[in-house]
């Protein structure tokens, strides 16, 4: 486990993984809000053959939520509904059980491990996933 003073630096590193520039062409914006803390997450998406591609990110949120958006964006995956639901369930289980699955990429595993010490911030980390789920 990393010392706590390195946590903010790592969150900021993951935050830079996303495209935070408003895209010229997109199909829609998926939005999710956390009324508990005020975080707001916007995913600018393009639909491709019943799948979703995240083109850019936006919104006002904490570093944990922004880092989670950056990690989600960095996958550059075409998300199908079944693939999305499977990946979401893996992450929820990880945060509930405080145990990282080998099905999660190493860089994201480090992020989730950091969140084990902040259980009240799990909603922040899952907010981008909530937004993406609205696309299906």
**64: which 2 tokens?**
């944990």
> 57-115 pLDDT, tens per residue?
999 998 899 889 999 998 878 999 999 999 999 999 999 999 999 999 888 898 899 89
Q: What is the pTM of this model?
A: 0.85
What is Dmax (Cα atoms) for the chain? 44
Q: Are 68 and 131 in contact (CB under 8 A)?
A: no
Looking only at the bridges linking them, the beta strands covering 40-48 and 51-58 are antiparallel
Predicted pLDDT at 107: 80
Neighbours of 64 (CB within 10 A): 25
Q: In the beta sheet, which residues pair with residue 33?
A: 40
In this predicted model, what pLDDT tens digit does every residue of 6-56 receive, in sequence order?
554 555 555 566 667 888 999 999 999 999 889 999 999 999 999 999 999
Contact 65, 124 (CB under 8 A): yes
């Amino acid at each position: 486990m990393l010392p706590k003073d390195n946590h903010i630096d790592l969150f900021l590193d993951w935050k830079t993984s996303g495209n935070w520039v408003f895209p010229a062409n997109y199909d829609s914006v998926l939005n999710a809000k956390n009324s508990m803390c005020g975080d707001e997450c916007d995913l600018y998406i393009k639909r491709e053959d019943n799948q979703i591609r995240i083109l850019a990110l936006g919104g006002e949120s904490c570093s944990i939520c922004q880092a989670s958006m950056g990690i989600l964006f960095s996958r550059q995956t075409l998300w199908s509904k079944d693939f999305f639901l499977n990946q979401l369930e893996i992450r929820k289980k990880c945060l509930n059980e405080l145990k990282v699955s080998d099905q999660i990429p190493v860089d994201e595993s480090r992020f989730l491990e950091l969140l084990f010490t902040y259980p009240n911030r799990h909603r922040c980390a899952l907010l981008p996933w909530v937004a993406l789920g609205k696309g299906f």
